[in-house]
Chain A
Amino acid sequence: MKYDKILLGHGSGGKLSHQLIEEVFLPYFSEDTLYKMDDAAVLEYPGNGLVFSTDSYVVDPIEFPGGDIGKIAVCGTVNDISMMGARPLFLSAGFIIEEGFSIEVLHRILTSMKNAALEAGVRIVTGDTKVVPRGAADKLFINTAGVGLPMAEKLPSGAGAKPGDQIIINGPIAEHGITVMATREGLEMDLSIKTDSAPLNHLVREIMAVSGEIHVMRDPTRGGIATTLNEIARQSEMAINIDENQLPITPEVSSACEILGLDPLYIANEGKILVFCSQDDTPRILEIMHKNKYGGAARVIGTVREEPRRKVILKTAIGGQRLIDMLAGEQLPRIC
């Protein structure tokens, strides 16, 4: 590590986060499941195994258009389990609360956790609360962990992409990150932008029911689709080609990104899924997705090739070509 202190960039989900995990964390815990760097661990267990995952939520502000920290805490872990091709069943929830936090707001957040769990069909079966002195935490942090059961013998994995695979996304990108940023900065922007936070387990169950050739599923959260696609290209040792003109993005989000000088490819999503599947199964999967409320705008955005390995290449809107790298640190607003 070139740094002797943790920088905010170490939490961005991009290159610095990877360095931190690989160079500082992994050496202490030599579990195979950790080295796979998937969204969740697949453990040996009678039947098809057991899927186990955890995630912490520290979003600021804790409430924003379309959701709050409670909703993403439930949906995030539900989605991480789902991405492994498993059906999420049980969740734990841990709360770290700052002294002085409003009980009324807490009620609101718990209500949205309850609703998200109901929609996903998961049960929150164990929990913990801690209160820390004012200033020792920022309002409210939530950790959730969850277990689920695999829905097939052959499970998707970040290392599973194959040449010729098509890459599907279930809707427009960058909505969550832009919503949070706009709320945090108090930017007076179009109010129609809201988080895409959603539990995707039902969508995953439906597409797995019609296709046995889903090779990778990932939810492109922190670091955006650019970072997730890079992770998959590296884990699978494949080249990923993306067509900028096929990338779904709403005009509102696109304008906000232009104004703030941010690249939507690197902005977080909380209700998006990238599906890598064999070309033959694409029409079936798209048809199912289009019927689901979280997949109406699903489309193919790219394909997998063998060369150049470990690279993600974008065909730009005007027909040029460029590499897409992982996010290097925090995405910072520019001067002019």
Chain B
Amino acid sequence: MKYLNEFRDERLARMLAGRIAEKANGLPELKFMEVCGSHTMAIARYGLRRMLPANIGLISGPGCPVCVTPNHYLDHAIALGRLQDVILVTFGDMLRVPGSTSSLEKERAGGSDIRIVYSTMDAVEMARKNSGKKVIFLGVGFETTAPTIAASVVQAEKMALQNYFVLCAHKTMPKPMEAIAGGKKVPLDGFICPAHVSTIIGSHPYDFLSVKYGKYCVIAGFEPLDILEAIDMLLSQVHSKKPKVEIQYARVATADGNPTALKLMEKVFKVCDTEWRGIGMIPGSGLCLNDRYASFDAALRFEVEIERTIEETACICGEVMQGLARPPECPLFGTVCTPESPVGACMVSSEGSCAAAYKYEQLI
């Protein structure tokens, strides 16, 4: 099929793997972080690790939106869902993520009105049709999703809806990459930069990673050949000893990004500090509704008692998301924590590192 099978071609994959092996020959051990959860999934799903030479390591990064959403946010959403006449609307991934003592899936079984949509506009439509109810959208995701939430708020304003709200936990990408690049904990040579996030923000926001921190960076698509080509490009940069930001995903991503989406985000959001599950507070890494749109902010408009946050102490999601540990190193992995009864978010999300490792990379 157009733009699908072409990027999963066995012959081309073998050729790229051969070229990577050639370029890696003689180089020291190198570690690249694939930032996005979708990269992590593709790497596991297509068995890419086994196609790489021993001195090329891939580390999973913090780019799974569900995984980095902290317990407190879920507890807040769960409390809102228990209010009278509230419809909680979410993208599907969030449903099974455990909060401190419950999850949206369990709340739905317990009677909360929780609905899944594919598009934020469906939530706006839901608000229009249910004028007696309050529709609260769970605004989770990076720059890929944030413009669609922004668009829904603008649309709701245009329609003069009084019953559409957003519980905002949006996060932005380059900041946590800086935290990882600047930290000494993970010896990292470069990044496979996000695909979809980069279609919105472009390549320039990553420039400091090569300029200031000397990291090799390639923006890569999510198909197996995309990822192999990106690794090949990274190795070329290593040979030239000139770290820079290159775009492999050129069929969609450009240096300047998507100006319409960026303008929309700027119109509706302001930058704020936000907490990342397992990583902690990263200043300036979040997006909140700005003052003009504050009336849509569910956190301001509804007063609820949120349960005290309980963190599962043995879960090492945080370390996994910073590339400090691989999923099988967690004492809970595959025993206490499995996709059907997940302890940490990394096991729940369809893009989580632990889910990827459990589903696809267990010993054959």
- Residues of chain A at the chain B interface (Cβ within 8 Å): 2-3, 5-9, 14-16, 19, 185, 187, 245, 251, 254-255, 258, 260-261, 308, 311, 313, 316-323, 325, 328-330, 332-336
Flag if B93 contacts A318 (CB, 8 Å): no
Instruction: Tell me the B171-193 residues at the A interface (CB within 8 Å).
Output: none
Show 25 A/B contacts (Cβ-Cβ < 8 Å), sorted by A. A8-B109, A9-B105, A9-B340, A16-B340, A254-B4, A316-B47, A318-B13, A320-B47, A320-B48, A320-B51, A322-B46, A322-B360, A323-B360, A323-B361, A323-B362, A323-B364, A328-B338, A328-B339, A329-B105, A330-B95, A332-B92, A332-B350, A335-B93, A336-B145, A336-B196
Assembled-state Cα–Cα distance A235/B110 (Å): 35
Supposing A255-B4, A316-B46, A318-B10 touch, asked if A333 and B340 sit within 8 A by C-beta, the answer is no
Flag if A322 contacts B47 (CB, 8 Å): yes
Supposing A255-B4, A321-B50 touch, asked if A334 and B91 sit within 8 A by C-beta, the answer is yes
Flag if B225 contacts A318 (CB, 8 Å): yes
Other-chain contact of A329, B10, B14, B110, B339 (Cβ < 8 Å): B339
Answer whether residue B142 sits at the interface, using C-beta atoms and an 8 A cutoff: yes
Answer whether residue B224 sits at the interface, using C-beta atoms and an 8 A cutoff: yes
Assembled-state Cα–Cα distance A245/B118 (Å): 29
Other-chain contact of A334, B9, B108, B351, B358 (Cβ < 8 Å): B351
Other-chain contact of A336, B45, B108, B110, B142 (Cβ < 8 Å): B142
Flag if A318 contacts B340 (CB, 8 Å): no
Assembled-state Cα–Cα distance A6/B145 (Å): 31
Flag if B106 contacts A5 (CB, 8 Å): yes
Please indicate the chain A residues that have their CB under 8 angstroms from the CB of B225 in the complex.
Answer: 318
Other-chain contact of B340, A185, A255, A328 (Cβ < 8 Å): A328
Answer whether residue B1 sits at the interface, using C-beta atoms and an 8 A cutoff: yes
Other-chain contact of A335, B14, B91, B359 (Cβ < 8 Å): B91
Please indicate the chain B residues that have their CB under 8 angstroms from the CB of A251 in the complex.
Answer: 1
Flag if A334 contacts B109 (CB, 8 Å): no
Q: How far is the CB of B265 from chain A (nearest CB, A)?
A: 15
Answer whether residue B274 sits at the interface, using C-beta atoms and an 8 A cutoff: no
Flag if B44 contacts A322 (CB, 8 Å): yes
Please indicate the chain B residues that have their CB under 8 angstroms from the CB of A258 in the complex.
Answer: 4
Please indicate the chain B residues that have their CB under 8 angstroms from the CB of A261 in the complex.
Answer: 350
Flag if B350 contacts A334 (CB, 8 Å): yes
Answer whether residue B112 sits at the interface, using C-beta atoms and an 8 A cutoff: no
Flag if A332 contacts B93 (CB, 8 Å): yes
Answer whether residue B221 sits at the interface, using C-beta atoms and an 8 A cutoff: no
Assembled-state Cα–Cα distance A318/B4 (Å): 12
Assembled-state Cα–Cα distance A255/B339 (Å): 26
Instruction: Tell me the B224-246 residues at the A interface (CB within 8 Å).
Output: 224-225
Given contacts A322-B46, A329-B340, 9 further A-B contacts (CB under 8 A): A316-B46, A319-B51, A320-B47, A322-B44, A323-B364, A333-B118, A334-B91, A334-B350, A336-B144
Please indicate the chain A residues that have their CB under 8 angstroms from the CB of B277 in the complex.
Answer: none
Answer whether residue B270 sits at the interface, using C-beta atoms and an 8 A cutoff: no
Please indicate the chain B residues that have their CB under 8 angstroms from the CB of A16 in the complex.
Answer: 340
Please indicate the chain A residues that have their CB under 8 angstroms from the CB of B349 in the complex.
Answer: 334
Flag if B339 contacts A322 (CB, 8 Å): no
Answer whether residue B40 sits at the interface, using C-beta atoms and an 8 A cutoff: no
The 3 closest A-B pairs by CB, nearest first: A320-B47, A332-B92, A328-B339
Flag if A334 contacts B338 (CB, 8 Å): no
Flag if B45 contacts A316 (CB, 8 Å): yes
Answer whether residue B341 sits at the interface, using C-beta atoms and an 8 A cutoff: yes
Q: How far is the CB of B167 from chain A (nearest CB, A)?
A: 15
Supposing A7-B109, A332-B93 touch, asked if A318 and B196 sit within 8 A by C-beta, the answer is no
Assembled-state Cα–Cα distance A229/B224 (Å): 25
Chain B window 258-270, contacts with chain A (Cβ cutoff 8 Å), 1 for yes, 0 for no? 0000000000000
Flag if B105 contacts A8 (CB, 8 Å): yes
Assembled-state Cα–Cα distance A254/B8 (Å): 13
Assembled-state Cα–Cα distance A5/B103 (Å): 13
Supposing A245-B10, A318-B8 touch, asked if A7 and B91 sit within 8 A by C-beta, the answer is no
Please indicate the chain B residues that have their CB under 8 angstroms from the CB of A317 in the complex.
Answer: 5, 8-10, 46, 224
Q: How far is the CB of A320 from chain B (nearest CB, A)?
A: 2
Please indicate the chain B residues that have their CB under 8 angstroms from the CB of A14 in the complex.
Answer: 340
Please indicate the chain A residues that have their CB under 8 angstroms from the CB of B51 in the complex.
Answer: 318-320
Answer whether residue B99 sits at the interface, using C-beta atoms and an 8 A cutoff: no
Flag if A334 contacts B339 (CB, 8 Å): no
Assembled-state Cα–Cα distance A332/B339 (Å): 12
Answer whether residue B116 sits at the interface, using C-beta atoms and an 8 A cutoff: yes
Other-chain contact of B116, A2, A7, A313, A332 (Cβ < 8 Å): A332
Answer whether residue B248 sits at the interface, using C-beta atoms and an 8 A cutoff: no
Q: How far is the CB of B241 from chain A (nearest CB, A)?
A: 31
Q: How far is the CB of A238 from chain B (nearest CB, A)?
A: 15
Answer whether residue B96 sits at the interface, using C-beta atoms and an 8 A cutoff: yes
Q: How far is the CB of A335 from chain B (nearest CB, A)?
A: 4
Supposing A255-B4, A335-B91 touch, asked if A308 and B364 sit within 8 A by C-beta, the answer is yes
Chain B window 1-32, contacts with chain A (Cβ cutoff 8 Å), 1 for yes, 0 for no? 10011001110011000000000000000000
Closest to B194 in A: A336
Q: How far is the CB of A297 from chain B (nearest CB, A)?
A: 16
Assembled-state Cα–Cα distance A9/B140 (Å): 23
Supposing A320-B50, A323-B362 touch, asked if A336 and B10 sit within 8 A by C-beta, the answer is no
Other-chain contact of B46, A3, A308, A320, A325 (Cβ < 8 Å): A320
Flag if B340 contacts A19 (CB, 8 Å): yes
